[in-house]
Amino acid sequence: MAEERTSDEFSWARFEAMPIVGILRGFTSRQTLLAIEAAARGGITTVEVTLDTDGAEAMIAALRERFDGALHVGAGTVRSTGDLDGALRAGAQFIVTPVVLPDVIRAAGERGVPIFAGALTPSEIHTAWSLGADLVKVFPANLFGPSYIRDLRGPLRGARLMPTGGVTVETIGEYRRAGAEAFGLGSPLFARERVEAADFEWIEEQAKRFVALLRGDEATSRGAPPAG
């Protein structure tokens, strides 16, 4: 592989302006590229390719070159420090784990790489945050819904939460009002049947809906096609 890329181009200001992480898992490199292009046209600025996708590292490297700073490109489903090393060599600008992995969280922090650590229970969330996670990915969020995020905000005030798994156009506003600071979107944005049917217009419009909702533009969000 080419020389190691670093994650120093990650912009927290840009991410916080549109705190959505679009998640792509198990698509071909061509499908991934076209789906991301559609989402970017809709206003999405941050995406991750999960490492359990065939050829994920090569995809991350190609996406970094293709978008050249216009998008944040990260690696998801990072489960070991070996995965972390491979993701960073490919140019991943941020790292997402599925569960609390102390070695990975610490290693990412030592390298100055943004780390979004997966957790679910209050104890796991506290542990991930204490270890230095920049965001805690609450997964699967749909198991308990927006009220769970609201309840966590009391005893775990200060932890930055990113619900992932089942966040939809119907619920993203509730999650935000409950105190979520970012959102992970997989199939609600990159629905497998839409990607495989090359229905990239749907993905672009779906992205616009999510973006409009976060920006409080209810009129625009109502004017887009229904999800599903």
pLDDT (0 to 100) of residue 225: 53
- Residue 2 domain flag: no
From the candidates 3, 4, 37, 48, give the one annotated as an active-site residue: 48
Which token pair is 40?
Answer: 């970017």
Angle made by CA atoms 97, 48, 163, in degrees to the nearest 5: 60
User: Which pLDDT value is given to residue 127?
Assistant: 98
In a domain, 6, yes or no: no
Instruction: Determine the pLDDT at residue 5.
Output: 43
Distance CA 25, CA 103 (A): 24
**pLDDT tens, position by position, 170-179:** 999 999 999 9
Domain annotation covers residue 89: yes
Report residue 142's pLDDT band, with 50, 70 and 90 as the boundaries. Answer: very high
Concerning whether 48 is annotated as a catalytic residue, the answer is: yes
The whole domain housing 130 covers 12-222
Q: Is residue 74 classed as helix, strand or coil in its secondary structure?
A: strand
Predicted pLDDT of residue 221: 45
CATH assignment of the domain containing 80: 3.20.20.70
For residues 125 and 91, is the Cβ–Cβ distance under 8 A? no
Q: Is residue 217 scored above 90 in pLDDT?
A: no
Rounded Cα gap, residues 35 and 27, in angstroms: 9
- Choose, from 4, 37, 110, 137, the residue flagged as catalytic: 137
Per-residue confidence (pLDDT) for residue 4, from 0 to 100: 42
Q: What pLDDT is recorded for position 2?
A: 35
Give the closest residue to 88 by CA, choosing from 182, 8, 30: 8
- Domain count across the chain: 1
